[in-house]
Chain A
Amino acid sequence: EVQLVESGGGLVQPGGSLRLSCAASGFTFSSYWMSWVRQAPGKGLEWVANIKQDGSEKYYVDSVKGRFTISRDNAKSSLYLQMNSLRAEDTAVYYCAAAGGYDLLWFDPWGQGTLVTVSS
């Protein structure tokens, strides 16, 4: 069964840090672009970051550049998102998703999401 499972969410104070993880199974993780997508409470979907299969290319939405870092460990079939200098507006459910093989395509599958709450 193809599966993505996120972990690492929680409550953090403004200015704090958090590291999200996403464990993949059921498909060849190392062959896929991977992404993080977030959804603020009651809001729509927002793309956050992409990483190429070998980690050589990384792209971020402007609002997280310099604060978030996407990374991966293909040996562990795992994706990560290091989030620093967190702000209230980063509060959201964070989803990891596979984003395509030879190129950035569509998001499928998605994980179940992990909630990050930034509040004092």
Chain B
Amino acid sequence: SYELTQPLSVSVALGQTARITCGGNNIGSKNVHWYQQKPGQAPVLVIYRDSKRPSGIPERFSGSNSGNTATLTISRAQAGDEADYYCQVWDSSTAAVFGGGTKVTVL
């Protein structure tokens, strides 16, 4: 089965840029989606199809995907961006796969 690998944690200084990676075999050939989950809340979609932002998601959130790595970038990080972030793809078209999640801390 397909596996996605994320770093356990990423720290970023207030106002700086955080990059969260999601590794998978030839992940560049798949559509990657990203979710933000704050403590005690349900996940929220922040990026779909590698780099598209749903309405209401700040432009500070961006995504890219190539080769074996997809990346979620948070520019000008704010305290409110502290959360767990999960990448997700579809394996064999019908089974969703999530990365293990990355905890983002804004210093």
Contact = CB atoms under 8 A, between A and B. Distances in A.
A114 to B, nearest CB: 11
Interface string B69-100: 00000000000000010101010011111111
Category for how many chain B residues contact A: 20 to 34
Interface in A34-70: 35, 37, 44-47, 50, 57, 59, 61
A103 B38 CA distance: 28
Interface in A60-96: 61, 95
Contacts of B97: 47
B13 interface: no
Contact of B42 (A59, A61, A104, A110): A110
Main secondary structure of the interface of B (DSSP, over half): strand
A3 to B, nearest CB: 11
A108 B49 CA distance: 13
Contacts, number: 59
A112 B86 contact: no
Interface SS of chain A: helix, strand, loop or mixed?
loop
Contacts of A105: 31, 33, 48
Looking at chain A, what size class is its interface with the partner chain? Answer: 20 to 34
A106 interface: yes
B88 A46 contact: no
Nearest to B89: A106
Nearest to A112: B42
A57 B41 CA distance: 30
A44 B45 CA distance: 15
Given A106-B48, A106-B88, A45 B95 contact: no
Given A44-B101, A104-B90, A111 B42 contact: yes
B43 A95 contact: yes
B100 A44 contact: yes
| Nearest 3 pairs of A and B residues by beta carbon | A47-B96, A106-B33, A108-B45
Interface of B: 31, 33, 35, 37, 41-45, 48-49, 54, 84, 86, 88, 90, 93-101
